[in-house]
Structure 1
Amino acid sequence: MAGGALGGSAGRTHADIRPPVRPRRPARPVRAAAPRVTPSPTPPRPHGMVFHGARGSRMVALTFDADMTPGMWRSLDAKRVRSSYDHRIIKTLDATHTPATIFATGMWIKRYPDVTRTLAADPLLEFGDHSYQHSAFSTPCYGLPVLAPRKRTADVRHAASILDRYVPGHTAYFRFPGGCHDKAAVRAVLAAGVTPVQWDVISGDAFGHDPHAITRTVLREAKGGSIVVMHLNGPPNAPETHAALPGVIRGLRARGLRLVTVSKLLADSS
């Protein structure tokens, strides 16, 4: 009976009858879907100094220098200074949804690597290069140690390599320590493939002890296209930046000005 059911093949069981085996085709490789990336504004090609954006703009860029020198490092180690990072500034920027640009020295990043990673992940913030250890690129420069001319380009690249490690995709912008520069210093920065970005509004927060005076200065001087310089370090170098910042943000927005990153400001200007 079983043989008749299986097509009359005597002596064969169900397990003996199998369909012919066809050679298997190699599996096609599965392509992973490319992640969707929102492109950042394209910075202008390095051609010279930048002090502000287009004057017809209604945008203003707040920038914060994160300084660190060997002397500041020693003061931190000796507990003479508690910190060179004022988290209250970032708390205010986040609470008010205010974009900003941080110009960080390589030494500051090495002192605060975890903080840097956290700030780099904040969509409101972007980073630029502020040299490795805040040495002067020209003199006089507020008593800062002087960087030899032959080391300038290498210093910019050294700081950029540290930024590469902790802030992938950082901007191709550079800010001179102390804002001090000459024609040779500008050429050295351009040779590193980055654009030197200064400012047209000095907030006065460096060693300033009156937050209301800092706020009044920014509101008086800022206009469309302005780049404002402030500091991220906190006391003693910038003891009242955190206190002045809320008034700066409110006052600029009350005048119909939009706060943006340097990249946004310059991309629209170009």
Structure 2
Amino acid sequence: MIRPVRRLTALTVAGVALGAALAACGTTAPSPHTTHASPAPARPAPAAKPPTLPAGPGGLAAVFSNGPRTAGKTVALTFDADMTADEGPRAAAGEHFDNPALIATLRRLKVPATVFMTGRWADEYPDQARSLGHDAQFEVANHSYSHYAFTGDCYGLPTVSAANMKSDVQRAYAALLRAGVPHPMPYFRFPGGCYDDQARRAVGSLGVTAVQWDVVSGDAFATDADAVTQQVLDGVKPGSVVVMHCTRSAAPTTEEVVRHVVPELRHRGFRFVKVSELIGRTPGHR
């Protein structure tokens, strides 16, 4: 989760509290448990292996933050689906860890997007996960199973032990497949954006590319949609990756922000793409 900044000029990764972990994207009106998503267009089998970046020395996963600045005015909107492993009781009590209006708006505006989904969220909303996974407008990537941090001192998140980092990522992929996401992408976003060489080595052994960002939207816990909109518009450059969130309880302005940001960036000549396209434009990809 990325907490909002107080000043628009400060692009800082957010404070995450265990009692306020961000949640994720949905596609239909939810109940406290599984919701029923309206059918999405069937996703064809991928024609080729998604592009990735090769691991570095010692097997450290490559970290991707933005695409080339000189390959056209493209921008990738990404949405973190943050539900931690211990938030089931909150969902059972009625807290909604999805944002159907946001997904509907992205579909209506025909904006491709990449959703970094925790396995715990996929377990809670399998129908919605499947709907996103079968819609060619979206790609679903890995955000760990537990949404616990892969380093110490990561904005209040509990931590995953070094011995369990690899299995937490594998468990997330298993949850995505179980929910019906047919082709989860080989991209991983560290919870809280926190990583070190130990964490990179653990996920690098799985052949994934770690995906960060170069624009923090500040939408987490924000109540001023105009301020978040301006922060995104001020930060976007050719090849940018924007980190946003989608949950009605913890990022209530995001759908409104998207409605403002998308037409303005298109007016400025930007084209929206998924993360895979930016990685595929990056020198050295495989």
Task: State if a TM-score over 0.5 links the two structures.
Answer: yes
Query: 1:65 maps to what in 2?
Result: 80
Gaps of 5+ in 1: 1-35
Query: 1:232 maps to what in 2?
Result: 246
1:146 and 2:159 matched: yes
1:208 and 2:226 matched: no
Amino acid at match of 1:66: A
C-alpha distance in structure 1 between counterparts of 2:85 and 2:168, whole Å: 15
C-alpha distance in structure 1 between counterparts of 2:242 and 2:201, whole Å: 24
Gaps of 5+ in 2: 1-43, 56-61
Distance 1:109 1:46, change over 3 A: farther
Matches within 5 A, 1:127-166: 127-165=140-178, 166=180
Q: Please tell me whether the aligned partners of residues 41 and 267 of structure 1 are also in contact (alpha carbons under 8 angstroms).
A: no
Amino acid at match of 1:229: V
Q: Please tell me whether the aligned partners of residues 52 and 186 of structure 2 are also in contact (alpha carbons under 8 angstroms).
A: no
Query: 1:74 maps to what in 2?
Result: 89
Give the Å deviation of 1:253: 1.0
Matches within 5 A, 1:32-47: 39=47, 42-47=50-55
TM-score of the two chains, using structure 1 as the length reference: 0.82
Amino acid at match of 2:75: V
C-alpha distance in structure 1 between counterparts of 2:121 and 2:67, whole Å: 27
Amino acid at match of 1:44: T
Amino acid at match of 1:228: V
C-alpha distance in structure 2 between counterparts of 1:161 and 1:142, whole Å: 27
Matches within 5 A, 1:174-189: 174-189=188-203
Q: SS of the counterpart of 2:64?
A: coil
TM-score of the two chains, using structure 2 as the length reference: 0.78
Mark the structure with the bigger radius of gyration.
1
C-alpha distance in structure 1 between counterparts of 2:183 and 2:101, whole Å: 25
C-alpha distance in structure 2 between counterparts of 1:40 and 1:217, whole Å: 36
Give the Å deviation of 1:76: 1.4
Give % identity. 44
Amino acid at match of 1:174: F
Give the Å deviation of 1:222: 0.6
Q: Please tell me whether the aligned partners of residues 138 and 185 of structure 1 are also in contact (alpha carbons under 8 angstroms).
A: yes
Q: Please tell me whether the aligned partners of residues 85 and 234 of structure 1 are also in contact (alpha carbons under 8 angstroms).
A: yes
C-alpha distance in structure 2 between counterparts of 1:46 and 1:91, whole Å: 35
Give the Å deviation of 1:150: 1.1
Query: 2:272 maps to what in 1?
Result: 259
Give the Å deviation of 1:153: 0.9
Give the Å deviation of 1:122: 1.4
Q: Please tell me whether the aligned partners of residues 75 and 239 of structure 2 are also in contact (alpha carbons under 8 angstroms).
A: yes
C-alpha distance in structure 2 between counterparts of 1:159 and 1:37, whole Å: 21
Query: 2:38 maps to what in 1?
Result: none
Amino acid at match of 2:208: V
Q: Please tell me whether the aligned partners of residues 41 and 264 of structure 1 are also in contact (alpha carbons under 8 angstroms).
A: no
Q: Deviations over 1:84-126 (max 9, x none)?
A: 1001111111111100000000000000001111111212100
Q: SS of the counterpart of 1:43?
A: coil
Q: Please tell me whether the aligned partners of residues 134 and 182 of structure 2 are also in contact (alpha carbons under 8 angstroms).
A: no
Q: Deviations over 1:6-37 (max 9, x none)?
A: xxxxxxxxxxxxxxxxxxxxxxxxxxxxxx85
Distance 1:55 1:39, change over 3 A: same
C-alpha distance in structure 1 between counterparts of 2:46 and 2:186, whole Å: 18
Q: Please tell me whether the aligned partners of residues 53 and 279 of structure 2 are also in contact (alpha carbons under 8 angstroms).
A: no
C-alpha distance in structure 2 between counterparts of 1:265 and 1:135, whole Å: 27
C-alpha distance in structure 2 between counterparts of 1:186 and 1:193, whole Å: 11
C-alpha distance in structure 2 between counterparts of 1:189 and 1:68, whole Å: 20
Query: 1:12 maps to what in 2?
Result: none
